[in-house]
Amino acid sequence: MAATMLDSVTYGPLWRSAALAGLFEEIPRTRAWLEILAVLAEVEGEFGVIPAEAARGVAASCRAVNVDADLLAELAAARHRTGHSTAGLIEAVARRAPAVAAEWVHFGATVQDLTDTWLMTALRTARTHLGAQVAAAAATLAELARLHRATPMPGRTHGQEGLPITFGFKVAGWVAELRRHRARLAELAARMDVGQLGGGVGSLAAFGPNALALRARFCERLGLRPPEISWTSSRDVLAEWGAVLTLITGTADRIGHEVYNLQRDEIGELGEAAVAGVIGSITMPHKRNPEISEHLGTLARLVRHQAAALLEGVVHDHERDGRAWKVEWQAVPEITLMAGRAAELLAELAAGLEVRPGRMLQNLRAAGGKVGSEGLMLALARHTGRQTAHQLVYALAERARASGESLSAAAQSDRQILQYLSPAQVEALLDPAGQVGQCAAMVDRVLSGDA
Protein backbone atom coordinates (compact mmCIF):
# COMPACT_ATOMS: atom_id res chain seq x y z
CA MET A 1 0.00 0.00 0.00
CA ALA A 2 1.16 3.54 -0.73
CA ALA A 3 2.55 5.37 2.28
CA THR A 4 2.22 8.90 0.87
CA MET A 5 0.10 10.79 -1.65
CA LEU A 6 3.06 10.78 -4.06
CA ASP A 7 3.00 6.97 -4.11
CA SER A 8 -0.77 6.57 -4.17
CA VAL A 9 -2.33 4.81 -7.15
CA THR A 10 -5.55 6.75 -6.58
CA TYR A 11 -4.22 10.21 -5.77
CA GLY A 12 -0.63 10.17 -6.97
CA PRO A 13 -1.29 11.61 -10.46
CA LEU A 14 -2.41 14.86 -8.83
CA TRP A 15 0.73 15.13 -6.69
CA ARG A 16 3.55 14.00 -8.96
CA SER A 17 4.51 14.42 -12.58
CA ALA A 18 3.96 11.10 -14.32
CA ALA A 19 6.58 12.11 -16.87
CA LEU A 20 9.20 12.39 -14.12
CA ALA A 21 8.10 9.68 -11.69
CA GLY A 22 10.15 7.00 -13.43
CA LEU A 23 13.34 8.94 -12.76
CA PHE A 24 13.07 8.37 -9.03
CA GLU A 25 11.27 5.03 -8.73
CA GLU A 26 13.41 2.33 -7.20
CA ILE A 27 13.74 -0.07 -10.11
CA PRO A 28 14.66 2.56 -12.75
CA ARG A 29 16.98 4.28 -10.27
CA THR A 30 18.76 1.01 -9.46
CA ARG A 31 19.19 0.28 -13.17
CA ALA A 32 20.68 3.74 -13.61
CA TRP A 33 23.07 3.15 -10.71
CA LEU A 34 24.19 -0.14 -12.27
CA GLU A 35 24.89 1.58 -15.58
CA ILE A 36 27.01 4.18 -13.78
CA LEU A 37 28.95 1.38 -12.07
CA ALA A 38 29.42 -0.30 -15.45
CA VAL A 39 30.80 2.88 -16.99
CA LEU A 40 33.04 3.43 -13.98
CA ALA A 41 34.54 -0.04 -14.36
CA GLU A 42 35.09 0.43 -18.10
CA VAL A 43 36.85 3.76 -17.60
CA GLU A 44 38.94 2.36 -14.75
CA GLY A 45 39.97 -0.48 -17.07
CA GLU A 46 40.79 1.98 -19.83
CA PHE A 47 43.14 3.87 -17.48
CA GLY A 48 44.65 0.75 -15.94
CA VAL A 49 43.22 1.33 -12.48
CA ILE A 50 41.68 -2.15 -12.54
CA PRO A 51 42.55 -5.05 -14.84
CA ALA A 52 40.96 -4.80 -18.28
CA GLU A 53 39.42 -8.28 -18.02
CA ALA A 54 37.94 -7.42 -14.62
CA ALA A 55 36.55 -4.18 -16.01
CA ARG A 56 34.77 -6.05 -18.79
CA GLY A 57 33.39 -8.55 -16.31
CA VAL A 58 32.11 -5.91 -13.91
CA ALA A 59 30.46 -3.91 -16.70
CA ALA A 60 28.82 -6.97 -18.22
CA SER A 61 27.57 -8.14 -14.81
CA CYS A 62 26.12 -4.72 -13.96
CA ARG A 63 24.22 -4.66 -17.22
CA ALA A 64 23.02 -8.24 -16.85
CA VAL A 65 21.51 -7.84 -13.38
CA ASN A 66 17.75 -8.30 -13.49
CA VAL A 67 16.37 -5.46 -11.40
CA ASP A 68 13.07 -6.72 -10.07
CA ALA A 69 11.21 -7.18 -6.80
CA ASP A 70 13.44 -10.10 -5.85
CA LEU A 71 16.59 -8.02 -6.24
CA LEU A 72 15.08 -5.19 -4.21
CA ALA A 73 14.28 -7.67 -1.43
CA GLU A 74 17.88 -8.87 -1.60
CA LEU A 75 19.17 -5.30 -1.32
CA ALA A 76 16.83 -4.56 1.58
CA ALA A 77 18.09 -7.61 3.48
CA ALA A 78 21.68 -6.53 2.90
CA ARG A 79 20.87 -3.01 4.07
CA HIS A 80 19.43 -4.43 7.29
CA ARG A 81 22.40 -6.75 7.79
CA THR A 82 25.23 -4.32 6.97
CA GLY A 83 23.70 -0.99 7.93
CA HIS A 84 25.11 0.41 4.66
CA SER A 85 23.03 1.91 1.88
CA THR A 86 24.92 0.44 -1.08
CA ALA A 87 26.90 -2.57 0.15
CA GLY A 88 24.06 -4.84 -0.91
CA LEU A 89 24.19 -3.63 -4.51
CA ILE A 90 27.94 -4.18 -4.65
CA GLU A 91 27.51 -7.69 -3.22
CA ALA A 92 24.70 -8.46 -5.68
CA VAL A 93 26.88 -7.56 -8.66
CA ALA A 94 29.92 -9.35 -7.24
CA ARG A 95 27.91 -12.57 -6.76
CA ARG A 96 26.84 -12.47 -10.38
CA ALA A 97 30.25 -11.50 -11.76
CA PRO A 98 32.97 -13.89 -12.93
CA ALA A 99 35.67 -14.59 -10.34
CA VAL A 100 38.16 -12.36 -12.10
CA ALA A 101 35.82 -9.38 -11.70
CA ALA A 102 34.08 -9.90 -8.36
CA GLU A 103 36.67 -8.03 -6.28
CA TRP A 104 36.66 -4.94 -8.52
CA VAL A 105 33.02 -3.77 -8.31
CA HIS A 106 32.67 -0.09 -7.33
CA PHE A 107 36.46 0.17 -7.01
CA GLY A 108 37.72 3.39 -5.40
CA ALA A 109 34.36 5.16 -5.51
CA THR A 110 31.98 6.09 -2.70
CA VAL A 111 28.22 6.00 -2.40
CA GLN A 112 28.14 9.74 -2.94
CA ASP A 113 30.03 9.42 -6.23
CA LEU A 114 27.29 7.10 -7.41
CA THR A 115 24.27 8.97 -6.06
CA ASP A 116 25.42 12.48 -6.97
CA THR A 117 26.29 11.45 -10.51
CA TRP A 118 22.94 9.73 -10.93
CA LEU A 119 21.11 12.71 -9.48
CA MET A 120 22.66 15.10 -12.00
CA THR A 121 21.50 12.89 -14.88
CA ALA A 122 18.00 12.65 -13.40
CA LEU A 123 17.71 16.40 -12.80
CA ARG A 124 18.89 17.13 -16.33
CA THR A 125 15.82 15.27 -17.61
CA ALA A 126 13.61 16.97 -15.02
CA ARG A 127 14.93 20.40 -15.94
CA THR A 128 14.13 19.83 -19.60
CA HIS A 129 10.58 18.74 -18.78
CA LEU A 130 10.01 21.66 -16.43
CA GLY A 131 11.30 24.10 -19.01
CA ALA A 132 8.95 22.70 -21.64
CA GLN A 133 5.92 22.97 -19.35
CA VAL A 134 6.79 26.51 -18.27
CA ALA A 135 7.26 27.44 -21.92
CA ALA A 136 3.89 25.92 -22.84
CA ALA A 137 2.11 27.90 -20.13
CA ALA A 138 3.92 31.09 -21.12
CA ALA A 139 3.04 30.65 -24.79
CA THR A 140 -0.64 30.09 -24.04
CA LEU A 141 -0.75 33.08 -21.71
CA ALA A 142 1.06 35.26 -24.25
CA GLU A 143 -1.75 34.64 -26.73
CA LEU A 144 -4.26 35.49 -24.01
CA ALA A 145 -2.40 38.72 -23.28
CA ARG A 146 -2.41 39.63 -26.97
CA LEU A 147 -6.13 38.95 -27.27
CA HIS A 148 -6.98 41.02 -24.18
CA ARG A 149 -4.30 43.73 -24.38
CA ALA A 150 -7.03 46.40 -24.26
CA THR A 151 -9.77 44.56 -22.31
CA PRO A 152 -10.49 46.78 -19.27
CA MET A 153 -10.91 45.30 -15.81
CA PRO A 154 -10.55 46.50 -12.22
CA GLY A 155 -7.03 46.70 -10.88
CA ARG A 156 -7.01 45.81 -7.21
CA THR A 157 -4.72 46.67 -4.33
CA HIS A 158 -5.14 45.43 -0.75
CA GLY A 159 -8.06 43.35 -2.06
CA GLN A 160 -10.02 46.48 -3.11
CA GLU A 161 -10.69 48.00 -6.50
CA GLY A 162 -8.07 50.66 -7.18
CA LEU A 163 -7.68 51.84 -10.78
CA PRO A 164 -8.59 50.26 -14.12
CA ILE A 165 -6.08 48.02 -15.89
CA THR A 166 -6.43 45.65 -18.82
CA PHE A 167 -6.62 41.90 -18.47
CA GLY A 168 -3.82 41.61 -21.00
CA PHE A 169 -1.63 43.70 -18.68
CA LYS A 170 -2.24 41.29 -15.80
CA VAL A 171 -1.50 38.25 -17.96
CA ALA A 172 1.59 39.81 -19.56
CA GLY A 173 3.01 40.17 -16.05
CA TRP A 174 2.59 36.43 -15.61
CA VAL A 175 4.25 35.80 -18.97
CA ALA A 176 7.27 37.94 -18.11
CA GLU A 177 7.67 36.10 -14.82
CA LEU A 178 7.49 32.67 -16.45
CA ARG A 179 10.06 33.73 -19.04
CA ARG A 180 12.42 34.70 -16.23
CA HIS A 181 11.97 31.22 -14.78
CA ARG A 182 12.90 29.68 -18.13
CA ALA A 183 16.02 31.85 -18.12
CA ARG A 184 16.81 30.69 -14.57
CA LEU A 185 16.53 27.05 -15.64
CA ALA A 186 18.88 27.71 -18.56
CA GLU A 187 21.35 29.51 -16.32
CA LEU A 188 21.19 26.69 -13.79
CA ALA A 189 22.20 24.20 -16.47
CA ALA A 190 25.66 25.80 -16.46
CA ARG A 191 26.07 24.76 -12.82
CA MET A 192 24.31 21.41 -13.04
CA ASP A 193 25.02 18.45 -15.35
CA VAL A 194 28.30 17.95 -13.48
CA GLY A 195 29.43 14.47 -12.47
CA GLN A 196 30.89 13.40 -9.15
CA LEU A 197 33.89 11.12 -8.71
CA GLY A 198 36.27 11.83 -5.87
CA GLY A 199 36.61 8.81 -3.65
CA GLY A 200 36.63 8.87 0.12
CA VAL A 201 37.30 12.57 0.75
CA GLY A 202 37.14 13.88 -2.81
CA SER A 203 40.91 13.72 -3.39
CA LEU A 204 40.83 11.09 -6.18
CA ALA A 205 43.60 9.27 -4.33
CA ALA A 206 42.33 5.83 -5.41
CA PHE A 207 42.47 6.55 -9.14
CA GLY A 208 46.17 6.97 -9.78
CA PRO A 209 48.25 9.70 -11.45
CA ASN A 210 45.79 10.19 -14.32
CA ALA A 211 42.81 10.55 -12.02
CA LEU A 212 41.64 13.91 -13.38
CA ALA A 213 41.64 12.58 -16.94
CA LEU A 214 39.86 9.43 -15.73
CA ARG A 215 37.19 11.53 -14.04
CA ALA A 216 36.74 13.62 -17.18
CA ARG A 217 36.31 10.47 -19.26
CA PHE A 218 33.83 8.99 -16.75
CA CYS A 219 31.69 12.14 -16.84
CA GLU A 220 31.90 12.39 -20.61
CA ARG A 221 30.64 8.82 -21.01
CA LEU A 222 27.58 9.74 -18.94
CA GLY A 223 26.90 12.97 -20.80
CA LEU A 224 28.03 15.15 -17.87
CA ARG A 225 30.77 17.70 -17.42
CA PRO A 226 33.67 16.98 -15.08
CA PRO A 227 33.75 19.19 -11.99
CA GLU A 228 36.60 21.62 -11.50
CA ILE A 229 36.83 20.25 -7.96
CA SER A 230 35.05 17.50 -6.05
CA TRP A 231 31.79 18.84 -4.61
CA THR A 232 30.94 16.26 -1.95
CA SER A 233 30.51 18.99 0.68
CA SER A 234 29.42 21.83 -1.64
CA ARG A 235 25.67 21.54 -1.93
CA ASP A 236 24.83 25.05 -3.12
CA VAL A 237 23.75 23.90 -6.58
CA LEU A 238 21.10 21.60 -5.15
CA ALA A 239 19.96 24.36 -2.82
CA GLU A 240 19.70 26.56 -5.91
CA TRP A 241 17.64 23.88 -7.65
CA GLY A 242 15.24 23.97 -4.72
CA ALA A 243 15.12 27.77 -4.87
CA VAL A 244 14.31 27.80 -8.58
CA LEU A 245 11.55 25.22 -8.07
CA THR A 246 10.22 27.39 -5.24
CA LEU A 247 10.07 30.37 -7.60
CA ILE A 248 8.39 28.42 -10.39
CA THR A 249 5.75 26.91 -8.14
CA GLY A 250 5.33 30.27 -6.41
CA THR A 251 4.42 31.88 -9.72
CA ALA A 252 2.06 29.00 -10.50
CA ASP A 253 0.45 29.55 -7.09
CA ARG A 254 0.19 33.30 -7.68
CA ILE A 255 -1.60 32.74 -10.98
CA GLY A 256 -3.79 30.05 -9.48
CA HIS A 257 -4.67 32.24 -6.51
CA GLU A 258 -5.67 35.04 -8.88
CA VAL A 259 -7.98 32.67 -10.75
CA TYR A 260 -9.29 31.34 -7.43
CA ASN A 261 -10.25 34.85 -6.33
CA LEU A 262 -11.57 36.14 -9.65
CA GLN A 263 -13.74 33.03 -10.05
CA ARG A 264 -15.68 33.94 -6.90
CA ASP A 265 -19.36 34.27 -7.72
CA GLU A 266 -19.48 37.89 -6.61
CA ILE A 267 -16.56 38.76 -8.93
CA GLY A 268 -16.92 36.24 -11.77
CA GLU A 269 -14.26 37.65 -14.09
CA LEU A 270 -12.37 34.39 -14.67
CA GLY A 271 -13.08 30.70 -14.39
CA GLU A 272 -11.33 27.39 -14.74
CA ALA A 273 -12.40 25.35 -17.74
CA ALA A 274 -15.69 23.53 -17.31
CA VAL A 275 -15.05 19.81 -17.80
CA ALA A 276 -18.02 17.54 -18.37
CA GLY A 277 -18.53 15.09 -15.54
CA VAL A 278 -16.22 16.87 -13.07
CA ILE A 279 -17.95 17.26 -9.70
CA GLY A 280 -17.36 20.37 -7.60
CA SER A 281 -19.10 19.13 -4.48
CA ILE A 282 -20.85 15.91 -3.50
CA THR A 283 -23.28 17.91 -1.32
CA MET A 284 -23.76 21.08 -3.42
CA PRO A 285 -24.34 19.98 -7.02
CA HIS A 286 -24.23 23.50 -8.45
CA LYS A 287 -20.59 24.18 -7.54
CA ARG A 288 -17.65 24.51 -9.91
CA ASN A 289 -14.62 24.61 -7.65
CA PRO A 290 -11.27 26.00 -8.86
CA GLU A 291 -9.59 22.64 -8.26
CA ILE A 292 -6.40 23.26 -10.27
CA SER A 293 -5.91 26.72 -8.81
CA GLU A 294 -6.26 25.39 -5.28
CA HIS A 295 -3.94 22.47 -5.88
CA LEU A 296 -1.24 24.74 -7.28
CA GLY A 297 -1.22 26.38 -3.85
CA THR A 298 -0.91 23.03 -2.09
CA LEU A 299 2.03 21.93 -4.23
CA ALA A 300 3.78 25.29 -3.92
CA ARG A 301 3.58 25.23 -0.15
CA LEU A 302 5.09 21.77 0.04
CA VAL A 303 7.85 22.60 -2.43
CA ARG A 304 9.00 25.70 -0.61
CA HIS A 305 9.02 23.96 2.76
CA GLN A 306 10.99 20.98 1.47
CA ALA A 307 13.33 23.28 -0.45
CA ALA A 308 14.16 24.93 2.86
CA ALA A 309 15.63 21.60 3.97
CA LEU A 310 18.06 21.76 1.04
CA LEU A 311 19.29 25.13 2.28
CA GLU A 312 20.28 23.39 5.49
CA GLY A 313 22.66 21.24 3.48
CA VAL A 314 24.71 24.26 2.42
CA VAL A 315 26.20 24.16 5.93
CA HIS A 316 28.18 20.94 5.61
CA ASP A 317 30.69 19.40 8.01
CA HIS A 318 34.16 18.65 6.64
CA GLU A 319 34.31 16.57 3.43
CA ARG A 320 31.06 14.66 3.88
CA ASP A 321 28.14 15.13 6.24
CA GLY A 322 25.51 12.42 6.10
CA ARG A 323 23.02 14.47 8.09
CA ALA A 324 22.98 17.21 5.46
CA TRP A 325 23.61 15.16 2.34
CA LYS A 326 20.97 12.49 2.95
CA VAL A 327 18.24 15.10 3.38
CA GLU A 328 18.55 15.47 -0.40
CA TRP A 329 17.56 11.82 -0.91
CA GLN A 330 14.09 12.67 0.38
CA ALA A 331 13.69 16.30 -0.55
CA VAL A 332 15.05 16.50 -4.10
CA PRO A 333 12.85 13.78 -5.66
CA GLU A 334 9.74 15.03 -3.89
CA ILE A 335 10.09 18.70 -4.78
CA THR A 336 11.04 17.80 -8.35
CA LEU A 337 7.99 15.59 -8.82
CA MET A 338 5.67 18.14 -7.22
CA ALA A 339 7.13 21.09 -9.14
CA GLY A 340 6.85 19.11 -12.35
CA ARG A 341 3.18 18.45 -11.64
CA ALA A 342 2.60 22.11 -10.77
CA ALA A 343 4.11 23.19 -14.10
CA GLU A 344 1.91 20.71 -15.96
CA LEU A 345 -1.20 21.89 -14.11
CA LEU A 346 -0.35 25.53 -14.80
CA ALA A 347 -0.14 24.79 -18.53
CA GLU A 348 -3.50 23.00 -18.27
CA LEU A 349 -5.06 25.90 -16.35
CA ALA A 350 -3.82 28.43 -18.89
CA ALA A 351 -5.10 26.43 -21.85
CA GLY A 352 -8.65 26.21 -20.48
CA LEU A 353 -9.00 29.57 -18.74
CA GLU A 354 -12.40 31.21 -19.20
CA VAL A 355 -12.17 35.01 -19.55
CA ARG A 356 -15.33 37.09 -19.04
CA PRO A 357 -14.71 40.61 -20.39
CA GLY A 358 -18.36 41.56 -19.92
CA ARG A 359 -18.19 40.85 -16.21
CA MET A 360 -14.92 42.77 -15.92
CA LEU A 361 -16.53 45.85 -17.47
CA GLN A 362 -19.67 45.35 -15.40
CA ASN A 363 -17.60 45.34 -12.21
CA LEU A 364 -15.83 48.51 -13.32
CA ARG A 365 -19.15 50.21 -14.06
CA ALA A 366 -20.61 49.04 -10.75
CA ALA A 367 -17.91 51.02 -8.96
CA GLY A 368 -19.77 54.17 -9.97
CA GLY A 369 -16.70 56.00 -11.23
CA LYS A 370 -14.61 55.62 -8.08
CA VAL A 371 -11.86 53.72 -9.94
CA GLY A 372 -11.33 56.92 -11.95
CA SER A 373 -10.69 59.05 -8.86
CA GLU A 374 -6.99 59.40 -9.60
CA GLY A 375 -7.64 60.82 -13.07
CA LEU A 376 -10.14 63.30 -11.65
CA MET A 377 -7.72 64.34 -8.92
CA LEU A 378 -4.85 64.87 -11.35
CA ALA A 379 -7.01 66.93 -13.69
CA LEU A 380 -8.09 69.14 -10.79
CA ALA A 381 -4.49 69.39 -9.57
CA ARG A 382 -3.57 71.41 -12.64
CA HIS A 383 -5.88 74.10 -11.28
CA THR A 384 -5.67 73.72 -7.51
CA GLY A 385 -2.46 71.80 -6.76
CA ARG A 386 -2.28 68.12 -5.92
CA GLN A 387 -2.94 68.28 -2.18
CA THR A 388 -6.02 70.47 -2.53
CA ALA A 389 -7.30 68.29 -5.38
CA HIS A 390 -6.82 65.18 -3.24
CA GLN A 391 -8.77 66.76 -0.39
CA LEU A 392 -11.62 67.73 -2.75
CA VAL A 393 -11.94 64.27 -4.31
CA TYR A 394 -11.49 62.51 -0.96
CA ALA A 395 -14.32 64.52 0.60
CA LEU A 396 -16.48 63.94 -2.46
CA ALA A 397 -15.86 60.19 -2.34
CA GLU A 398 -16.75 60.05 1.35
CA ARG A 399 -20.02 61.93 0.75
CA ALA A 400 -20.88 59.66 -2.17
CA ARG A 401 -20.15 56.56 -0.12
CA ALA A 402 -22.34 57.79 2.75
CA SER A 403 -25.25 58.73 0.49
CA GLY A 404 -25.01 55.73 -1.82
CA GLU A 405 -24.58 58.01 -4.82
CA SER A 406 -22.04 57.18 -7.49
CA LEU A 407 -18.84 59.21 -7.51
CA SER A 408 -19.53 60.11 -11.12
CA ALA A 409 -22.96 61.59 -10.36
CA ALA A 410 -21.68 63.37 -7.25
CA ALA A 411 -18.74 64.92 -9.13
CA GLN A 412 -20.88 66.14 -12.00
CA SER A 413 -23.05 68.11 -9.59
CA ASP A 414 -20.33 69.36 -7.23
CA ARG A 415 -19.96 73.16 -7.43
CA GLN A 416 -16.28 73.19 -6.43
CA ILE A 417 -15.30 70.72 -9.11
CA LEU A 418 -17.45 72.41 -11.75
CA GLN A 419 -15.43 75.59 -11.20
CA TYR A 420 -12.60 73.87 -13.07
CA LEU A 421 -14.09 71.02 -15.10
CA SER A 422 -17.25 70.61 -17.18
CA PRO A 423 -19.69 67.74 -16.55
CA ALA A 424 -18.56 66.16 -19.83
CA GLN A 425 -14.92 66.34 -18.74
CA VAL A 426 -15.78 64.77 -15.40
CA GLU A 427 -17.72 61.98 -17.09
CA ALA A 428 -14.80 61.23 -19.41
CA LEU A 429 -12.31 61.25 -16.55
CA LEU A 430 -14.40 58.81 -14.55
CA ASP A 431 -15.03 56.45 -17.48
CA PRO A 432 -13.00 53.37 -16.42
CA ALA A 433 -12.41 52.12 -19.94
CA GLY A 434 -10.41 55.25 -20.73
CA GLN A 435 -8.18 55.22 -17.65
CA VAL A 436 -5.91 52.24 -18.24
CA GLY A 437 -2.72 54.22 -18.77
CA GLN A 438 0.02 52.44 -20.68
CA CYS A 439 -1.22 48.91 -20.00
CA ALA A 440 -1.57 47.96 -23.67
CA ALA A 441 1.83 49.42 -24.54
CA MET A 442 3.48 47.36 -21.80
CA VAL A 443 1.71 44.23 -23.05
CA ASP A 444 3.21 44.92 -26.47
CA ARG A 445 6.67 45.28 -24.94
CA VAL A 446 6.42 41.90 -23.22
CA LEU A 447 5.08 40.18 -26.32
CA SER A 448 7.82 41.66 -28.47
CA GLY A 449 10.43 40.45 -26.01
CA ASP A 450 11.39 44.00 -25.01
CA ALA A 451 10.44 43.42 -21.38
Q: What is the set of active-site residues? A: 158, 281
Beta carbons within 10 angstroms of residue 66's beta carbon: 8
- DSSP track, 285-342: TT----HHHHHHHHHHHHHHHHHHHHHHTTS--TT--HHHHTHHHHHHHHHHHHHHHH
Decide: 196 and 112 in contact? Cβ < 8 Å: yes
